[in-house]
Amino acid sequence: METLDRIKKQIAENPILLYMKGSPKLPSCGFSSQASQVLMQCGERFAYVDILQNPDIRAELPAYANWPTFPQLWIDGELIGGCDIIIEMFQQGELQPMIKETAAKYADDASDSASE
């Protein structure tokens, strides 16, 4: 499967998806750590892709997303943004309802990690 097709499939199949460096339990950069901590505080399951284990995705996702940095949060097929935006939305109380609504909408399909 082409890298771009894998990215599109991951985004389509995972309603709450974080592209990050490392994993939520073992992040490999401060920004990924902060973003995953905020998502965990929202209390819903989310999928993640470790871009350090997927260099092809790391190389191609910024062009596809038109967003140059990681982490990247995708909710319901839409790019939300990176670490600063995630934290700002959380602090303003905008992220929590978005996460809760999306999790409820897809409650039957929830998974912990994105399929390849």
Q: How confident is the model at residue 116 (pLDDT cuts 50, 70, 90)?
A: very low
Q: Is the pLDDT of residue 36 over 60?
A: yes
- Please say whether the beta carbons of 15 and 3 come within 8 A: no
- Residue 70 marked as a ligand binder: yes
> Which superfamily, per CATH, for 3-106?
Glutaredoxin (3.40.30.10)
- Residue 42 marked as a ligand binder: no
Q: Whole-angstrom Cα distance, residue 91 to residue 54?
A: 31
Beta bridge partners, 79, equal 74
pLDDT tens digit sequence for 45-90 = 999 999 999 999 999 999 999 999 999 999 999 999 999 999 999 9
- Residue 8 marked as a ligand binder: no
pLDDT tens digit sequence for 87-108 = 999 999 999 999 999 999 988 6
* Domain boundaries, given as residue ranges, for the chain: 3-106
- Residue 21 marked as a ligand binder: yes
What is the residue-wise DSSP string for 17-75?
A: EEEESB-SSSBSSHHHHHHHHHHHHTTS--EEEETTT-HHHHHHHHHHHT--SS-EEEE
